[in-house]
Amino acid sequence: QVQLVQSGAEVKKPGASVKVSCKASGYTFTGHYMHWVRQAPGQGLEWMGWINPNSGDTEYAQKFQGRVTMTRDTSINTAYLELSRLTSDDTAVFYCASHSSGPVDWGQGTLVTVSS
């Protein structure tokens, strides 16, 4: 079955960058778009963008453009989310989510804490 395993929790200082990984298994990695979703503490889900692992094409939410980069390494079936110029407002759980035309499969989430 589909499994998305994300990297562990991170603590970063304001102004730094963070890179979160998402390793996929149980399906053809290049056949599903990979989305990234942010959830701040006690808040709702916020779509950040997607990457097409086959082509490397990306689409980012306007809010994150200029600060977010989504990449992938097809040799190890892993997608990456990098977010730069972190502020305390970026303290959140970040989820990867794999999607083709059916149900969305979710990673377990990665907590990123931004604190001085």
For other proteins, the binding residues (CB under 8 A) are 35, 37, 44-47, 59, 61-62, 95, 101-109
Minimal distance, residue 45 CB to other proteins, in Å: 5
User: What distance in Å separates the CA atoms of residue 78 and residue 4, rounded to the nearest whole number?
Assistant: 9
Q: Degrees (nearest 5) of the Cα angle 41, 53, 83?
A: 35
Q: Which is nearer to other proteins, 17 or 25 (CB)?
A: 25
Q: Which is nearer to other proteins, 16 or 106 (CB)?
A: 106
User: What distance in Å separates the CA atoms of residue 25 and residue 28, rounded to the nearest whole number?
Assistant: 8
User: Which of these, 114, 21, 112, lies nearest to 70 by C-alpha position?
Assistant: 21
Minimal distance, residue 46 CB to other proteins, in Å: 7
Q: Which is nearer to other proteins, 1 or 116 (CB)?
A: 1
